[in-house]
Amino acid sequence: MSSGRRSGGGDRPSSGRGRAPEDRYGSERESERERRDRERADRESARASRSDRPASRSGRQSSRSGRQSSGSGRRPPQNEQRSARGGRGGRGGGSGAGSGRGASRQRTRQRSDLLSRILVAVPAAVIAIIFVDLGGLAWALFMIAIGAVCMYELWGLLARWRPATAVGFASLAVMVIVARYGTVRGVMEVAVVTLPVAFLVVIARGQRGAATVSIAGTLLGVWWLGIAFAHAELLRRVPHGNGIIIDVMIGTFLGDAAAYFGGRLFGRRPLAPAISPNKTLEGLFCGMLIAVLAVFVAGLYQTWLTQGDAILLGLTVAVFGPIGDLFESVVKRDAGSKDSGGVFGAHGGALDRLDAVIFTIVAGYYVWLAVMH
């Protein structure tokens, strides 16, 4: 029995100990294999989920865009409706209102410009008529004063030319006095003598460079302005000269105003864009027509002036007035200035107002001399 118990006791432990390690190692291998399989399956599922995520996003976006495109056929969003209404009615209404405001602003500017021109022209015309009627020495002194103002403005524009201003002012005064008490020949002799006198003065002041430019600037003032104001005195002395001066001034200033407003209303084609961009052929036509009509109508109240002579004088004014205007525009453009001065405020200087009549008064003198003879 003892041996049986021993053997039996010995068999159980030996068989138990022999099977336990094998079962334990086998179960550990199986659990490790299962863990690896699970980890591999988890990695593959993770990769699959990552690769499917952009596709799902693009799918959602395409579905959204599809819904939007299908919905846009029915009704646009409210902000798009507002922008469409603003684009059709808002901007259109705004541009219409803006154009309306611009047109009313332009009309207001034209009215104020016309009013300011009248306020400047009427007192100047009254003063000129008073001195024309006085004649004699008063008219001569008035011509010297106005001529000196115009010369001062001109040489302000040409300051870099360094003209001999004293020579110019003296020549102006002498020419007008000679015209008052002498003849046209004496006036032209003074103009000729001015050249060597200007040369001597420019050399005497020690000017080293641009002496010829200084002499030219001096002579421009004398021969453009001095001769014109001397001829105004000569014209005042001839028979009916006071009436001819009035006719020339009426035709010149009304023609100039008609050219300005005609160009503003009807101007399309530029007259001389390189010289004065704002002047137009339509304005020129309006100015010339009104100049002739103005002189003709003024001649109806002057029994000594025939209708043919009035038309001839009106044509002279109509032709030479725009030339004088363009001449001064060339001088101002070369000087880089818009206005010659500020005597008349916003309407510029005396030279700006008298540029046309400076030419027409000289032409009118010779036309009237031809008519009288």
Distances, alpha carbon 301 to alpha carbons 70, 134, 243, 296, 340, in Å? 86, 20, 10, 9, 36
- Identity of the residue numbered 294: A
Whether residue 155 contacts residue 165, with contact meaning beta carbons closer than 8 Å, is answered with yes
Q: What angle do CA 149, 338, 286 make, to 5 degrees?
A: 95
pLDDT for position 49: 62
- Token pair 């002739």 is at which residue? 292
Every domain of the chain and the residues it spans: 120-237, 241-373
Lowest mean pLDDT among 72-76, 102-106, 220-224: 72-76
**Sign of torsion over alpha carbons 286, 287, 292, 294:** positive
Q: Helix 281-299 vs helix 241-266: angle between axes, to the nearest 10 degrees?
A: 150
Distances, alpha carbon 40 to alpha carbons 30, 31, 317, in Å? 15, 14, 110
- Identity of the residue numbered 200: L
The residue that leads in pLDDT, 68 or 203, is 203
The per-residue pLDDT for range 89-108, each reduced to its tens digit, is 444 444 455 555 655 665 66
Instruction: For the chain, give the percent of residues with pLDDT over 90.
Output: 52
3-state secondary structure of 277: strand
Q: Which tokens hold the place of 202?
A: 């420019």
Q: CA 153, CA 143: separation in Å to the nearest integer?
A: 15
Q: CA 214, CA 207: separation in Å to the nearest integer?
A: 9
Residue 87 class from Cβ within 10 Å (0-12 exposed, 13-18 middle, 19+ buried)? Answer: exposed
The per-residue pLDDT for range 243-300, each reduced to its tens digit, is 999 999 999 999 998 998 898 888 889 888 888 888 899 999 999 999 999 999 999 9
Sequence-distant (6+) residues with CB within 8 A of 27 are none
